[in-house]
Amino acid sequence: MAYDFNKILELAEKYKPQMSKFLRDMIAIPSESCGEKEVIQRIMKEMKDVGFDKVETDPMGNVFGYIGHGKHLIAMDAHIDTVGVGNIKNWEYDPYKGYEDDEIILGRGASDQEGGMASMVYAGKIIKDLKLEDDFTLLIVGSVQEEDCDGLCWQYIIKELNIRPEFVVITEPTSCRIYRGHRGRMEIKVMTPGISCHGSAPERGDNAIYKMAPILMELKELNERLIDHPFLGKGTLTVSEIFHTSPSRCAVADSCWISIDRRLTAGENGEYALNQIRELPSVKAAKAEVTMYPYSRPAYTGLVYPTEAYFPTWFIEEDHPVCSTLLEVYEGLFEDEPTLDKWTFSTNGVSIMGKYGIPCIGFGPGHEDQAHAPNEKTWKNELVKAAAMYAAIPSLFVEKYADKMPKTTENLAE
């Protein structure tokens, strides 16, 4: 199929004002996890206005926009929920009214990651305008609840709707670099039991907080000896929360529990990480219980789709056909050598590839360091670059790389 990279870039630049307005409209709609209904409705309107072939939502509330009717199903994903604004005193502008000049757009969700949605929607328009449809169906997904439970939406999409793309472009912020993986994570709970008694005679009880103390020290030491990986880096853990129960301030604590943020590198999975903690001498001595946290918060539609807070590691190799596709598109569009890297944080790829083996690749407008920060911003030139990339990827993949895809993909988390 003949297509012109310069024409794609010209149209992406032409639609910069429309992308900017669309992004500002999304920012203006508060859309924290499980409260995304209004921003989903705004996205559906934009998809219909620019000419998507089909626009719909699923029972969880994710929005699907389709371009084309070919046999190769290619998906691109942006989570459109955001975190809260935090301390409003740290913001120079209203986080929902935002701010805009010739170069940047500021507001909650600008980089993380409604900017990716703005670029994807206008990539769909570019494909339509330039008649780039080939033997592919492009599925643009605006996913919900990612900030609350990354990958939950795609667990539902893959398991319940049986939608399995050949690959997925994750549009989380990458500073317009190509990202080919990231560490996994899990949320672990460690609980020590105790027996309460009056605080005036603590020897009559069994203090659960004291039993937690040596566990904390051994966890700190365990973090230092977790395994490393040449691309993804080292596994890590940190104690993020501590709680207790006690009949009163004048009593011995009868339970204590901590939360652990565990980051998993290649070669580590959920059971491996849990067993590492269960085998600590202090955990055994305290008869502590080590479990994964569950997640069962209702979506904005009311749907409850329970899961464990386990989000596996994933990455693809540099010579994978999907990685080769993006490298070639980048070089063709920008006549420059792209940077290959990885995310520090976690994305919906934990389910798509980490759990279900569907290859993922990352390219997005915005910067990682803007995520969850006050005065969050993104850059208009990156919205343009991302839209051009997304418009060119499907055709080039079908033309050059679809027949080179592996027949099966291993679950790299295991």
Domains of the chain (ranges, CATH numbers): 5-182+313-404 (3.40.630.10), 184-295 (3.30.70.360)
Strands (E), 194-321: 236-245, 255-264, 289-292, 294-295, 307-308, 310-311, 314-315
Element (H, E) at 44: helix 37-50
Instruction: Report whether pLDDT(228) > 80.
Output: yes
pLDDT tens for 370-414 read 999 999 999 999 999 999 999 999 999 999 999 999 875 444 433
DSSP, res 297? P
pLDDT tens for 249-293 read 999 999 999 999 999 999 999 999 999 999 999 999 999 999 999
Closest among 336, 383, 344 to 363, alpha carbons compared: 383
pLDDT score, position 412: 40
Banded pLDDT at 109 (limits 50, 70, 90): very high
Mean pLDDT of the chain: 96
Question: Of the ranges 1-5, 10-14, 71-75, 111-115, which one carries the lowest mean pLDDT score?
Answer: 1-5
pLDDT tens for 181-214 read 999 999 999 999 999 999 999 999 999 999 999 9
Which amino acid, residue 151?
G
Which amino acid, residue 203?
E
- List all residues 6 or more positions away from 103 whose beta carbon is below 8 Å from its beta carbon: 379, 380, 381
The torsion angle over the Cα atoms of residues 401, 406, 408 and 411, rounded to 10 degrees, is -90
Instruction: Kindly state the tokens that stand for 211.
Output: 């039993």
CA angle at residue 340 from 267 to 312, to 5 degrees?
Answer: 30
pLDDT score, position 1: 47
Burial of 56 (0-12, 13-18, 19+ CB in 10 A): exposed
Q: Which of 46, 133, 134, 146 is catalytic?
A: 146
DSSP, res 166? S
Which amino acid, residue 102?
D
Annotated catalytic, 81?
Answer: yes
Instruction: Report whether pLDDT(3) > 70.
Output: no
Annotated catalytic, 341?
Answer: no
Q: C-alpha 267: how far from its chain's center?
A: 21
Q: Which of 36, 46, 58, 81 is catalytic?
A: 81
pLDDT score, position 408: 55
